[in-house]
Structure 1
Amino acid sequence: MEDYKHFLLLFTLALALGFASIASALTWALRYREGLGWDGGAAEFNWHPLLMVIGFIFLQGIAIVVYRLPWTWRCSKQMMKLIHAGLNVLAFFLAVISVVAVFDFHNAKNIPNMYSLHSWIGLAAVILYPAQIVIGIAVYLIPVTPVYVRAALMPIHIYSGLFIFTSGIATALMGITEKLIFSLKSPGYKDSPPEAVLVNVLGLLIVAFGGLVLWIATRPSWKRPKEGDAQTVSYNSSSPGNVKMARTDQESSLEARRRNGKAEESG
């Protein structure tokens, strides 16, 4: 991998920001709201922001960059596809629970559903997400789709994944702001009480995490080598005398991909 130290720094920072986002969302629910529960009250609603941060933002972000972790290049492409799909399925499962929680809360309190821009964009993202997962599994995980079809659909698959991820971040920012405006009365949101400061920091953490994920995911030099190249690098790197040859092969492969500009089979 080119500039491995730079990649490692950014990935470590992204992990730290992701965990800090989850910790902030949990602190918000436990310290400033009514905790967590499943009784149709405010404690049930609190599952909504927490599970969205864990699933739709953190796990989905990790699923996006999992192919780019160089220490996974020893693994087969099929194994990485399973991990990628598994993380996305888990993220979607948590998102569904969070949506059920907020609908239960609204219905119990006679609050209208689906009236805000936050709810419109959020539901659209939640609907698009399983479609992305199903198409990804059908086209890339099940080995029956012709290679030329996989290559043709890969740019769309990548774009739609990044689009859903960024839509989730935008929805989260609208949602936490909406919740603060409705919940904080005295002092109000405009007075910047500690809860408002915490949630604003949560928003900044989410944006920073998303920005790092997008940067890592869009660097051509950090893309996973083709299956044969990855195995060659893994094999040669185990022998000190062949390290230089492995690096040369990897650089040649990278240069060839840059010249061709063709979409690879994997994401």
Structure 2
Amino acid sequence: MAMENLKQFLVALSAAGAVGFVAIIFVLRWVLHFKEGLAWDGGLAEFNWHPVLIVTGFIFLQGIAIIVYRLPWTWQCSKLMMKFIHAGLNSAAFIFAVVAVVAAFDFHNTAKIPNMYSLHSWLGLITVILYSLQLVLGVGMYLIPVTPVSWRAAFMPIHIYSGLFLFTSVIAVALMGITEKLIFGLSNPKYKDSPPEAIFVNILGVLLVVFGALILWIATRTSWKRPSDQILHALHSNGESEDNSKVGPALSELAEGTDAEAGGDVRRRF
């Protein structure tokens, strides 16, 4: 990666990491200071696990999983190792999401509140189900060696699009849930009166949007894609990898050219 591009990448990555970390601090501050804290007793404190796990797992971990291939210092790792890391992060995000859903249902059942009546709950459950399908298909296609290369090539655009779509959907559904919680949870003063909690949690929503935008920016920049293993091996063998300022343009051109190839490319790139 060219030095200029590397600096831009590091700025975007640092910004995404900082914003995501601050968002986690905000959601923890929200439930510990403005709400009843965290517990697993069927009460409001149990429900508070829902936003905490969604932000930390389903949003932050999923975002890291999306861009993990683009971290230059991981390019020395084998593609198989990166596949397991990518799948592991997504699996952890899915587990966080499932526990978050269980916490919400358990609280509703204990408090005799109907389940699945709001648009937030509808879209949230749909997103979790689609995410599980994405995870299963991803593992089946790219971690099982018997999967035909032609299938991998055909499924790759769908896999990439679905991942970005689901990530965006999770953030959108989270914003709906935040707004719903503030409207129902604030009574004196009400949400419309902009009490400190409302302002604080609105800022949390803005942080989630900014984090999502940064992750999507990093994930969609062509010049920041991981080059194929053949290109990396050739550059390393020729000693060119030591000169970052010269390697960057070559990596971008070669990576794009290699990405245009169908079957063999999918096996190398994902």
TM (norm. structure 1) is 0.93
Tell whether the 8 Å contact from 2:32 to 2:38 is kept in structure 1 after alignment: yes
Distance 1:36 1:215, change over 3 A: same
Runs of 4+ residues over 2 Å off in structure 1: 230-240, 242-252, 254-258, 260-264
SS, match of residue 39 in structure 1: coil
Structure-2 change in CA distance of 1:155 and 1:39 (3 Å): same
Instruction: Tell me: CA distance 1:193–1:225, structure 2 relative to 1, closer, same or farther (3 Å).
Output: same
Amino acid at match of 1:163: F
- Residue of structure 1 in register with 2:186 after alignment: 184
- TM alignment of 1:147-158, pairs within 5 A: 147-158=149-160
Distance between the aligned counterparts of 1:180 and 1:244, measured in 2? Answer: 50
> Which ranges in structure 2 are unaligned for 5 or more consecutive residues?
none
- The aligned counterpart of 1:256 is 257
Q: Cα distance, 1:262 vs. partner?
A: 5.4
Question: What is the identity percentage for the equivalent residue pairs of Structure 1 and Structure 2?
Answer: 60
Structure 1 match to 2:103:
101
Conserved 8 A contact 1:48-1:102: yes
1:229 to 228, 231, 240: 231
Query: Root-mean-square deviation (CA), in Å?
Result: 2.0
The structural deviation recorded for 1:220 is 1.0
Q: Work out the CA distance in 2 between the residues paired with 1:244 and 1:77.
A: 24
Partner residue of 1:122? 124
Aligned residues: 265
Query: What is residue 215 of structure 1 aligned with on the other side?
Result: 217
Displacement of 1:254 in angstroms is 3.4
Cα separation, 2, equivalents of 1:187 and 1:195: 10
Give yes or no for contact 1:36–1:44 (8 Å, CA) kept in 2: yes
Separation (CA, whole Å) in 2 of partners of 1:185 and 1:221: 50
Q: Which moved more, 1:248-257 or 1:65-74?
A: 248-257
The structural deviation recorded for 1:233 is: 3.7
Rounded to whole Å, the distance in 1 between the matches of 2:88 and 2:136 is 12
What do residues 173-212 of structure 1 show as CA deviations (whole Å, max 9, x unaligned)?
0001000000101111111111111100000000000001
Aligned partner of 1:62 among 44, 61, 64: 64
Structure 1 residue corresponding to 2:76, chosen from 49, 74, 94: 74
Indicate if the aligned counterparts of 2:223 and 2:252 stay in contact, CA closer than 8 A.
no
For residues 59-94 of structure 1, the C-alpha deviation after alignment (integer angstroms, 9 at most, x for no partner) is: 000000000111100100000000000000000001
2-structure distance, mates of 1:32, 1:238:
55
Give the conservation status (yes or no) of the 8 Å contact 2:40–2:46: yes
**Distance in 2 of aligned mates of 1:23 and 1:248:** 39
Gaps of 5+ in 1: none
Secondary structure, aligned partner of 1:213: helix
Alignment of 1:21-170 (within 5 A): 21-170=23-172
SS in 1 for 2:223: helix
How many Å separate the matches in 1 of 2:153 and 2:109?
45
Q: Is the 8 A contact 1:52 1:94 kept in 2?
A: yes
Q: In the aligned structure 2, how far is the partner of 1:180 from the partner of 1:153?
A: 40
Q: Distance in 1 between matches of 2:193 and 2:236?
A: 56
SS at match of 2:146: coil
Distance of 1:58 and 1:150 partners within structure 2: 27
TM-score by length of 2: 0.92
